[in-house]
Structure 1
Amino acid sequence: MDYVNLLLLDDKEENLISLRALLEDIEHINIISCSDPNEALKICWKDQISIALVDVQMPEINGFEFVSLLKSNPKTNHIIAIMVTAISKEDRYLIKGLESGAVDYLYKPLNPEITIAKVKSFVKQIHIQEEIKQKNIELEKSKLDLIRAKEEAVEARKSKEIFLANMSHEIRTPINGIMGILHMLQNSHLDDDQRDWLDRLDGASQSLLLIINDILDLSRVDSGMLKIVNRDLSIKEMVDDIKKIYNIKASNKGLNFEIKLDPRLPMYIKSDALRLQQIIGNFISNSLKFTEQGEIKLCIDVIENLDSNYLIRFTVIDTGIGIKSESVEKIFLAFEQADDGITRKFGGTGLGLAIVKRLADLMKGKVSAKSVYGKGSEFYFETLFQVSLYYTSKEEKENQQYTKLPRLNDLRVLVAEDNELNSFMLAHMLRTWGCDVDIVKNGKFAVENTIKNMYDIILMDTHMPIMSGFEAINEIKSNPSDRVKSIPIITISASVLEYEQQAAYKAGADAVIGKPFDPFDLYYKIVEITGNK
């Protein structure tokens, strides 16, 4: 505990000696004596005095004047002043002392017990004040540290989002071109070998896209940006989709793929179909990766029926390599796999099951796994689903070709895209639908062409040199000409983060399509916006 500096001020030396003798046994005080008020003021200014016992009757400067001088100076106004007096105890003197800034009185002849008790009380008060002051300093420092940490976290999140947006854009742009050319080739005349080659290339493209989506999904979930949207879902249609995707993949590995459905399952439920299929798909993909022989089975079971709600469990069972018991728990952590050797042999980012765990939490469900090393694994996800009584079946378009879609009545389209492969692919699709297409490579040329020419719609990439798509949209939508600013604009961007898509709408875009895109989605979006049928 720090020592408290206590000043004794009295013009009589004998009084100072007796008062010092009385107080010197009090712990944690350092006593300084002075008989000259002017000298005492200097001591107060430089020696961090905390308590002053001041005699009232002194020549030149009396005690009232001395305390008033202390309280008028910012460097000394914190000092606790106690008047020591032998004059009358009349109220007027008490009031005068309090008005000067004193907090208490001691009357001569001094009562030793009262004097010691009062000084001890004020010393304790000062220690408490110092402790509070120190805690306030620490709290303020903690507050500043928290603010700084929050600012750093925000900056880190922004940096991560910018990195992910740039990475997504840079990778999705060439993937979009590759997949677009694949669509074009798949709509042409091919022999069986060529179609097989394209299917393999399509699979490789989808795998690359899955990795990018995994990284972005993990970021969205962690930042709270990913939301679950429940809509009507047909379990039968979902199962049919799963069969189509994974029957072929299992067959190519010589594996048996089986789906077993509980007869008590409702026909339709409310769920986020994309996220539910993402969870199941991750389980099955994992099993396909780590199973060399035997079978993979998807079981969908009703665990409990609660009126219009069903607790449903989706279980994927395989005869793969299995997982060591000590590694089962960590497989749902990001960037973790059960064994470092697995990464070298089978590849993978270790993100799939981490995303599954986060999606399960968002869907108010749970995931778990059990495994026998060397014999196989079992993964399951379960949650409560509300039964849906009405469902509109989706249109079947698996065998439909975009080249067979109705013509768009000679629409004139401006494509603003700096990537030559993407602009070539877009132009080919649009011309297949009967559109007249102009192509520019940056936002500046897009604005100039829009002012010079008549267009029915603009397809705008958002990230371009010289002038970005966002800037170009702003220029077009703020043009004084009604003809120019009324042209509908669809952004086709590799930026799939929600805030970037919202930025496109804020800039004035009429619709947003992410790369890589489905030609049918683009076609129907153009039809919807232009009213062309």
Structure 2
Amino acid sequence: MENINILIVDDKIENLVALEALIDRKDVNIISTTLPNEALRISWEKDIAIALVDVQMPEMDGFELVEILKSNPRTKDILVIFVTAISVETKYAVRGLAVGAVDYLYKPLNPYITSAKVDSFIQIVRNQREIKAKNSQLEAYQKKLIKAKEEAEQGRRIKENFLANMSHEIRTPINGIIGLSNVLLETQLTESQKHMIELMKISSDSLLRIINDVLDLSKMEAGKFKIIRTETNLAQLGDNAINLLSIGAKDKKIELKLILDPQLPQKVMADSLRLNQILINLMGNAIKFTQQGSVTLKIDVIDKKGNNMQIKFSIIDTGIGIAKENINKVFEMFEQGDDQTTLKFGGTGLGLSIVKNLAKLKGGHLSVESEINKGSTFSFANWYEVVKTVNPRESVPLKPNYFAPLPHVKILVAEDNVINKFLIEKLLKDWSINFDVVENGKDALVKLAENQYDLILMDNYMPIMSGLQAITLIRQGEVPGKENIPIVVFSAATMESDKVIAMEAGANGILSKSFDSQLLYNTITSYIKK
């Protein structure tokens, strides 16, 4: 504990000696002087906490000395105790307190009172200094918190921008593959070719879902994740998962099995996309870590309450298993069972972390049982509302899509990606639609000024001028008379914030670059009719 400096000012040596003897203790440093001017100098140079000041002194009395001390920012907080032999009349006490003193000691000094008062003021000083130190710490922490908050907000903005750009840049080529698959499926194909293209389309859809996994993690962290329940056929969902992963399993000569509980309802209300993410991640993991044997997807009804069923999805493998001490570790982001697992099997360790978060957000329970070299069982259980079945209608053979020609329609397309342009141009040509294609928002404004169009399909990410910038300028009257032309944003991004921003800029609608021909045709015709 730091010693406290006490200053004694008295013009008589014998009084200094007496006071020093009364207040001498280990936790204080006593500094004394007979000269008021010297007292001022000491007060300015040293950290004086308490001053015992004689009232009557030549050249400068105690009142004048204290007035000077209290007027200086460096010495204004010194606790002053007047020591006086003059009358104890009220007027003197009032004057002393008015100039800033906190108390009086009267000569002849009572040793017990003097010691007690000095002790109490030493404690006051220590408390004040402790409070001051705590306040300084709090202010420092507050500044750090404000800085950390600003950095976190800046980091969040950077992350959101990165995710938006990443979503667009990665989804664009994948959507191109999906689009080409859709176009190929409408051509003359053998059954084998058709099956392979369908698998390629399923794989592309799965890859898009993996990208959405990454975006979902960000939404989970930001509290913006949404569960959307629709009518879902669980048997079909399981069968699709088996088909999607069958090629990788066949390469490793691993048998894929689907076992369905006879009591399983035809349809339940579920978020099929999120449930599919869970199953694909768990089954993909099981195949990855299984060298021989099988991977089984088992769907059981384990409980019933009214119109709700608790359904358990179990992924059972005959793989390498997980050591007990590593079971919890595998659910952490970017973690795997051990370093040897990472070296041998690769991967990011992101899948099970996503599954854990999805299971938690869906209100379900994820569990795992495993034994080294014997295999693992990952299970996910949740309650689902059963959809009441209706009498099935007689199946009607599906007719191929028919798209009536639209030779009277003219569309402006703003798109910079080569594959996307090829796909859009092919579809528009098939429908006899007249169109112009530009590669950025600036050229779109020029074309719009030169021609009349019924609709604009505008990519939101383009060089020179983005689609959003072009839409804003159009709505502001950059091209006179064309302010109200229908504009549909043609986007690879799926983040909610992108959709909101596009609508705020003035877009009439959002169309994903999945190149679903029926959806694109319906969108075009709906705006033409308007």
Normalised by the size of structure 1, how large is the TM-score? 0.89
Q: Which residue of 2 aligns with 1:6?
A: 6
Task: Specify the code of the residue in structure 2 equivalent to 1:17.
Answer: V
Task: Specify the code of the residue in structure 2 equivalent to 1:2.
Answer: E
Q: Which residue of 1 aligns with 2:410?
A: 412
Residues 387 and 122 of structure 1: CA distance in aligned 2, closer, same or farther (over 3 Å): farther
Q: Which residue of 1 aligns with 2:427?
A: 429
The 5 A counterparts of 1:202-213 are 202=201, 205-206=204-205, 208-213=207-212
- Once the two structures are TM-superposed, the CA of residue 11 in structure 1 deviates from its matched residue by 1.7
Task: Specify the code of the residue in structure 1 equivalent to 2:352.
Answer: L
Cα pair 1:331 1:338 within 8 Å, conserved: yes
Task: Specify the code of the residue in structure 1 equivalent to 2:357.
Answer: R
SS of 1:228 mapped into structure 2: coil
Q: Deviations over 1:66-118 (max 9, x none)?
A: 22222122121111111111122222222111111111111111111111111
1:22 aligns with 2:22: yes
Cα pair 1:50 1:80 within 8 Å, conserved: yes
Q: Which residue of 2 aligns with 1:442?
A: 440
Structure 1 stretch displaced more, 181-190 or 279-288? 279-288
Q: Distance in 2 between matches of 1:119 and 1:384?
A: 73
Percent of counterpart pairs with the same letter?
Answer: 46
Cα pair 1:247 1:257 within 8 Å, conserved: no
Over the residues paired in the alignment, what is the CA RMSD in angstroms?
Answer: 3.0
- Once the two structures are TM-superposed, the CA of residue 306 in structure 1 deviates from its matched residue by 3.7
1:155 aligns with 2:151: no
SS of 1:484 mapped into structure 2: coil
Task: Specify the code of the residue in structure 2 equivalent to 1:419.
Answer: N
Q: Which residue of 2 aligns with 1:509?
A: 507
Cα pair 2:412 2:435 within 8 Å, conserved: yes
1:459 aligns with 2:457: yes
Residues 92 and 401 of structure 1: CA distance in aligned 2, closer, same or farther (over 3 Å): farther
Cα pair 2:309 2:384 within 8 Å, conserved: yes
Q: Distance in 1 between matches of 2:391 and 2:22?
A: 96
Q: Which residue of 2 aligns with 1:518?
A: 516
Q: Distance in 1 between matches of 2:492 and 2:230?
A: 29
Residues 181 and 27 of structure 1: CA distance in aligned 2, closer, same or farther (over 3 Å): same
Task: Specify the code of the residue in structure 1 equivalent to 2:29.
Answer: N
Structure 1 stretch displaced more, 136-145 or 514-523? 514-523
Normalised by the size of structure 2, how large is the TM-score? 0.89
Q: Distance in 1 between matches of 2:12 and 2:399?
A: 112
Cα pair 1:320 1:375 within 8 Å, conserved: yes
Residues 348 and 188 of structure 1: CA distance in aligned 2, closer, same or farther (over 3 Å): farther
Residues 18 and 345 of structure 1: CA distance in aligned 2, closer, same or farther (over 3 Å): closer
Q: Distance in 1 between matches of 2:52 and 2:431?
A: 99
Residues 389 and 54 of structure 1: CA distance in aligned 2, closer, same or farther (over 3 Å): farther
Q: Distance in 1 between matches of 2:18 and 2:468?
A: 85
The 5 A counterparts of 1:109-124 are 109-124=108-123
Residues 171 and 293 of structure 1: CA distance in aligned 2, closer, same or farther (over 3 Å): same
Q: Which residue of 2 aligns with 1:385?
A: 384
Q: Distance in 1 between matches of 2:276 and 2:437?
A: 38
Residues 340 and 28 of structure 1: CA distance in aligned 2, closer, same or farther (over 3 Å): closer
Q: Distance in 2 between matches of 1:407 and 1:325?
A: 64
Q: Deviations over 1:255-294 (max 9, x none)?
A: 242231251x555544323212222232233334444555
Q: Which residue of 2 aligns with 1:239?
A: 235
Q: Distance in 2 between matches of 1:129 and 1:341?
A: 59
- Once the two structures are TM-superposed, the CA of residue 185 in structure 1 deviates from its matched residue by 1.8
Task: Specify the code of the residue in structure 2 equivalent to 1:490.
Answer: V
Residues 218 and 391 of structure 1: CA distance in aligned 2, closer, same or farther (over 3 Å): farther
Structure 1 stretch displaced more, 87-96 or 289-298? 289-298
Q: Deviations over 1:327-358 (max 9, x none)?
A: 33222222223355555555543222211100
Q: Distance in 2 between matches of 1:391 and 1:115?
A: 98
Q: Distance in 1 between matches of 2:455 and 2:512?
A: 17
Task: Specify the code of the residue in structure 2 equivalent to 1:503.
Answer: I
- Once the two structures are TM-superposed, the CA of residue 194 in structure 1 deviates from its matched residue by 4.2
SS of 2:48 mapped into structure 1: coil
Cα pair 2:302 2:312 within 8 Å, conserved: yes
- Once the two structures are TM-superposed, the CA of residue 443 in structure 1 deviates from its matched residue by 0.6
Alignment gaps of 5+ in structure 2: none
Q: Distance in 2 between matches of 1:39 and 1:421?
A: 89
Residues 271 and 207 of structure 1: CA distance in aligned 2, closer, same or farther (over 3 Å): closer
Q: Distance in 1 between matches of 2:202 and 2:336?
A: 23
Alignment gaps of 5+ in structure 1: none
Task: Specify the code of the residue in structure 2 equivalent to 1:22.
Answer: L
Q: Deviations over 1:121-153 (max 9, x none)?
A: 111111111111112222222222222222222
Q: Deviations over 1:409-439 (max 9, x none)?
A: 7432111111122111112123323322210
Q: Distance in 2 between matches of 1:130 and 1:397?
A: 88
Residues 206 and 347 of structure 1: CA distance in aligned 2, closer, same or farther (over 3 Å): farther
The 5 A counterparts of 1:448-487 are 448-479=446-477, 483-487=481-485
Residues 102 and 355 of structure 1: CA distance in aligned 2, closer, same or farther (over 3 Å): same
Residues 519 and 2 of structure 1: CA distance in aligned 2, closer, same or farther (over 3 Å): farther
Structure 1 stretch displaced more, 240-249 or 430-439? 240-249
Residues 326 and 75 of structure 1: CA distance in aligned 2, closer, same or farther (over 3 Å): closer
Q: Distance in 2 between matches of 1:14 and 1:398?
A: 121
The 5 A counterparts of 1:62-101 are 62-101=61-100
Q: Which residue of 1 aligns with 2:285?
A: 286
The 5 A counterparts of 1:18-57 are 18-24=18-24, 26-57=25-56
Q: Distance in 1 between matches of 2:269 and 2:472?
A: 40
Residues 211 and 341 of structure 1: CA distance in aligned 2, closer, same or farther (over 3 Å): farther
Q: Distance in 2 between matches of 1:128 and 1:470?
A: 61
Cα pair 2:202 2:244 within 8 Å, conserved: no
Q: Deviations over 1:185-223 (max 9, x none)?
A: 221122355445545654654454344333323233233
Task: Specify the code of the residue in structure 1 equivalent to 2:122.
Answer: V
Q: Distance in 2 between matches of 1:100 and 1:248?
A: 89
Q: Distance in 1 between matches of 2:145 and 2:242?
A: 49
Cα pair 2:242 2:258 within 8 Å, conserved: no
Q: Distance in 2 between matches of 1:436 and 1:319?
A: 58
SS of 1:257 mapped into structure 2: strand
Cα pair 1:266 1:387 within 8 Å, conserved: yes
Cα pair 1:413 1:455 within 8 Å, conserved: yes
Task: Specify the code of the residue in structure 2 equivalent to 1:45.
Answer: W
